[in-house]
A and B are shown apart, each in its own frame.
Chain A
Amino acid sequence: EAGVAQSPRYKIIEKRQSVAFWCNPISGHATLYWYQQILGQGPKLLIQFQNNGVVDDSQLPKDRFSAERLKGVDSTLKIQPAKLEDSAVYLCASSLNWFTETQYFGPGTRLLVL
């Protein structure tokens, strides 16, 4: 079974530029999560989707971050405009549904904002 796929793996941009990350969850997984992991910290949830609907985006900085999950499969996370403090690893995770409880993580996208 293929795991969670993410791209790109690395991205370097200048502040005030925009950037987008892509995630393809494990096939059949209804729930998708985006986490932000700043160096030296544990991952922090940004947004949770159930199919193509948002379940929780309470920690998403909505003035600059946006996310969508069209057709309930792939998802895109966008930052516009980026700030220096957005430098982090962005992790995508998926689970079969909320009953299953286990979240499986992708390799992450490492973002550096200069």
Chain B
Amino acid sequence: AQSVAQPEDQVNVAEGNPLTVKCTYSVSGNPYLFWYVQYPNRGLQFLLKYITGDNLVKGSYGFEAEFNKSQTSFHLKKPSALVSDSALYFCAVREGKSGGGADGLTFGKGTHLIIQP
């Protein structure tokens, strides 16, 4: 079975400072990893994904994430936080495999990111 852990319920960062939202995962086989953001009363918006290749993945709105296989982590980062980055962030995983079949995502419980002016 696959699982995702987001150890922090909330992360507080001052505007302009770098931010990190942590995610660790467990999956048999190769992991496909995703970050989504959710604003109030909105659906999930895709930020970035790691499938294969370079361990540093760049995504939307200046976000990036670093895949670390040995630590089974996929932390979300941004060099300089904006107040508008305040939202709920979800990490998700599924097992990478060839051929068709079930590929639903397993999500973490989410981390509230609060950027203080």
Contact = CB atoms under 8 A, between A and B. Distances in A.
Contact of B102 (A41, A56, A104): A56
B43 A108 contact: yes
A102 B92 CA distance: 11
Contacts of A4: 43
Contacts of B109: 40-42
Interface stretch (A12-20, A43-51, A69-77, A79-87): A43-51
Contacts of B107: 42-44
B43 A42 contact: no
Interface string B86-107: 0000101000000011111111
Given A41-B109, A42-B108, A102-B49, A91 B103 contact: no
B4 interface: yes
A63 B43 CA distance: 27
B68 interface: no
Given A41-B109, A42-B4, A101-B32, A107 B101 contact: no
Q: How large is the interface on A (under 10, 10 to 19, 20 to 34, 35 or more residues)?
A: 20 to 34
B110 A42 contact: yes
A105 B45 contact: yes
Interface string B8-44: 0000000000000000000000001010100001111
Contact of A98 (B4, B34, B101, B105): B101
A105 B103 contact: no
Interface of B: 4, 32, 34, 36, 41-46, 49, 51, 90, 92, 100-110
Report the 10 A-B pairs with minimum CB-CB distance, sorted nearest first.
A42-B107, A45-B104, A56-B102, A105-B43, A105-B44, A107-B43, A43-B107, A108-B43, A42-B109, A106-B43
Given A31-B103, A43-B90, A107-B42, 9 more contacts: A33-B104, A41-B109, A42-B90, A42-B110, A43-B44, A44-B107, A102-B34, A105-B36, A106-B43
